[in-house]
């Protein structure tokens, strides 16, 4: 009987080892998402009549909306439906080579999510016509995003508006 238990434990240990080699604990998820952009001029404080603010609804890293460096340690602010991307969750956008953290909500994102359409809204710096042009140019109908990405993905320096994406 002891021999049977020992063999069963060895088989279990082998199975656990194989599972950890096949799936090393990575929790990242690749999702196709509608990606839009927002900035100071079109951000609101929860009341659509109050635009022109940097207030965010779920501060995790920043005290206000911030494009930041786009690195894993200093991600930009992202808005989404909390049921799609929970507050504090990091997301990587390969098309921009930038990291973001979910810190804000977006009415359109929630409406899209309720119709099974993933949608994230990424914060970019700037104001005025340049901001509006950047937001329009960068909008992507469908692109891959990585939820809970690894920290070692490539990062393009500078603003997302300077990325050369779109146009």
25 forms beta bridges with: none
Residue the block writes with tokens 């508006």? 161
Q: Is the pLDDT of residue 39 over 60?
A: yes
**Plot region of 31 (φ>0 → left; ψ -120 to 50 → alpha; else → beta):** beta
The tokens 């973001």 sit on which residue?
100
Domains in the chain: boundaries: 26-161
Is the CATH number 1.20.120 carried by domain 26-161? no
What pLDDT is recorded for position 49? Answer: 73
pLDDT at 21: 40
Q: Given this model, what pLDDT does residue 17 score?
A: 46
**Per-residue pLDDT reduced to its tens digit, 77-117:** 999 999 999 999 999 999 999 999 999 999 999 999 999 99
- What confidence tens digit (pLDDT) does each residue in 45-80 have? 777 777 888 889 999 999 999 999 999 999 999 999
The confidence score (pLDDT) of residue 95 equals 96
Over residues 145-159, mean pLDDT? 96
pLDDT, one tens digit per residue, over 3-37 is 655 544 454 455 444 444 444 446 899 999 999 99
Instruction: Determine which of 37-41, 115-119, 160-164 has the lowest per-residue pLDDT on average.
Output: 160-164
Distances from the Cα of 155 to the Cα of 31, 46, 49, angstroms: 19, 31, 35
Q: Looking at residue 5, what is its pLDDT?
A: 52
């Amino acid at each position: 009987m002891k021999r049977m238990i020992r063999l069963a434990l060895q088989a279990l240990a082998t199975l656990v080892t194989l599972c950890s080699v096949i799936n090393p604990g990575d929790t990242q998820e690749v999702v196709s998402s509608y990606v839009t952009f927002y900035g100071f001029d079109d951000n609101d404080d929860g009341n659509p009549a109050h635009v022109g603010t940097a207030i965010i609804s779920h501060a995790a890293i920043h005290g206000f909306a911030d494009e930041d460096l786009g690195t894993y340690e200093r991600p930009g602010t992202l808005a989404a439906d909390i049921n799609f991307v929970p507050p504090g969750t990091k997301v990587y956008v390969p098309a921009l080579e930038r990291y973001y953290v979910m810190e804000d909500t977006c009415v359109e994102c929630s409406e899209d999510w309720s119709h099974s359409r993933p949608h994230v809204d990424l914060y970019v710096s700037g104001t005025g016509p340049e901001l509006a042009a950047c937001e329009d140019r960068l909008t992507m109908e469908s692109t891959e995003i990585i939820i809970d990405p690894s920290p070692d993905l490539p990062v393009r320096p500078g603003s997302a508006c300077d990325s050369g994406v779109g146009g």
